[in-house]
Structure 1
Amino acid sequence: MTLTLTVSDEVRTLVPGFTHLAIEAHGLVNGPSNAASSALLDDAAHRLAERLGGRAPHEDPHMAAWRAAYTAFGAKPSRTRNSAEALAKRALADGGLPRINALVDAYNAISVAHLVPVGGEDLDRIEGGMRLVRATGDEPFTTVAAGVATVEHPDAGEIVWCDDAGVTCRRWNWRQGPRTRLTEESVNAIFLLESLAPMTTGELQVAGVELAESLEKLSPGARITVRTPE
């Protein structure tokens, strides 16, 4: 059964240029970062440096649009960066990009190479459909602080992804919760690529197709469906 993804009218009104593309994958084989997934990250960092040509990530027009969107719902974009900008800064730093696991490496590489926020969720841990909404402030967000599981709550008006059990990602795509993240045991997943104008639908689809191809190489035989932007 296909996962339901909805974007609330409140979000569309506040940020009318938003669109997203979803890739649903079943029968994946995940594991520790390996030579193939590491090569994807190295290539992405090289492509990012060429794209920016010495500019800082936030000077890219797409990242500037995300900063404006974060400001619109009350976040401070220089302190809580969207996931693509945060990864891009790490890619350009001396330490480079982190190696997490093969699937996370694959979608992080697409995020950096195309400067587009990308997230991955374990389909078997999502309860009900996923919704992008403006939070009331009462929704639970289970996270880990100092090694201990704890429950936080988003700010009222904050844009969050959530399912029937609570928030899965705070401040749009800033911080994912551990409940639904991809682990080495994950076999079914949904990947979300999120864009704002001036990124075009065509550019978003190119990034999505590249991610699908990477997943097919990392997990031969997986059933992968690219769902067109909504």
Structure 2
Amino acid sequence: MIGTSETTGEVTVRFQHSDDIWRDFPALVPFALHVEGVGPGVSVDDQVARYCDLAARRAAPESELPEIQAWRRAFTRMGLKPTQYRCASESLLRRFRKEGALPRLHPLIDLCNAVSIAFAVPVAVFDVAYVSGPLEVRYATGEETYLTFSGETEHPAAEEVIFADAEGRAHARRWTNRQSGLSAVRDTTADVLIVAEALHESARADVERLATALYDELTALWPVSPKSEILTASAPRFDF
């Protein structure tokens, strides 16, 4: 929902997971962060190198990491082949293992991708200007639209887990598998919602560490004041 505060006149947007998602995936630990003022004019080389080094120190391949194994089980439950459709952090880890580096796209995306592989947790970044709230992680009806990075329009299948806004636009397909080109970060982006989600046994502690790391990096790189929260089934809503 997009609404206006009667006291401040500020516009608020809501992010949450549906009750069905919490019911079917009770181990879920999501983190949401909203930040304004994240332009492209900074260098994140040192930060990216540090988090990539942390990822490289993991002795086990990505398929043996508990963080990735939990997402593979979730994808199997969704009726997807986990080796055909991989969560975003697994895809990045596989690419990093093969190439020794990550693609460089935008300072914010580069930072979030590096944090993602360091923690083996999917991290999504949405340009809020292209989202009509509320943004909800829920099962698709089959009527939603999804814009690919190549400009094609797809319709997620019914019961597929998507990030859906109020206009029925899917901003991510197959949950943490693939984001939409519509709300992708670009050089003109200034206002973003960052979402990290984990399902493994130590998810709460790991997501708390990820949240602290990301908050510290953002405030050190940009003159910003992020708002963030770790969500739960009893407090599933993030207003910003």
Same fold (TM over 0.5): yes
Query: Is contact 1:120–1:181 with CA below 8 Å preserved after alignment?
Result: yes
Paired letter, 1:40: Q
Alignment of 1:108-187 (within 5 A): 108-145=113-150, 149-165=151-167, 166-187=169-190
Point out where structure 1 has 5 or more consecutive residues left out of the alignment.
none
Match status 1:77 vs 2:82? yes
Tell me the equivalent position of 1:229. Answer: 231
Cα offset for 1:204? 0.5
Alignment of 1:191-210 (within 5 A): 191-210=194-213
Tell me the equivalent position of 1:99. Answer: 104
Query: Is contact 1:117–1:193 with CA below 8 Å preserved after alignment?
Result: yes
Query: How many angstroms apart in 2 are the aligned matches of 1:154 and 1:199?
Result: 31
Root-mean-square deviation over aligned CA pairs: 1.5
Change (3 A) 1:93 1:42: farther
Query: How many angstroms apart in 2 are the aligned matches of 1:214 and 1:193?
Result: 15
Query: How many angstroms apart in 2 are the aligned matches of 1:10 and 1:176?
Result: 21
Cα offset for 1:194? 0.5
Paired letter, 2:32: A
Query: Is contact 1:14–1:72 with CA below 8 Å preserved after alignment?
Result: no
Cα offset for 1:7? 1.1
Secondary structure in structure 2 of the residue aligned to 1:3: strand
Cα offset for 1:156? 1.8
TM-score normalised per structure 2: 0.87
Tell me the equivalent position of 1:43. Answer: 50
> Which residue among 88, 94, 97 is the counterpart of 2:93?
88
Match status 1:16 vs 2:47? no
> Which residue among 25, 38, 54 is the counterpart of 1:28?
38
Cα offset for 1:159? 0.8
C-alpha distance after superposition, 1:153-174 (max 9, x if no partner): 1122111111123100001011
Paired letter, 2:66: P
Seq. identity, %: 26
> Which residue among 9, 14, 36 is the counterpart of 1:4?
14
Secondary structure in structure 1 of the residue aligned to 2:216: helix
Query: Is contact 1:136–1:155 with CA below 8 Å preserved after alignment?
Result: yes
Cα offset for 1:49? 2.0
Cα offset for 1:223? 2.2
Query: How many angstroms apart in 1 are the aligned matches of 2:215 and 2:164?
Result: 24
TM-score normalised per structure 1: 0.90
Aligned positions, number: 221
Cα offset for 1:63? 0.5
Query: How many angstroms apart in 2 are the aligned matches of 1:117 and 1:62?
Result: 9
Cα offset for 1:29? 2.1
Change (3 A) 1:94 1:28: closer
Query: How many angstroms apart in 2 are the aligned matches of 1:184 and 1:167?
Result: 22
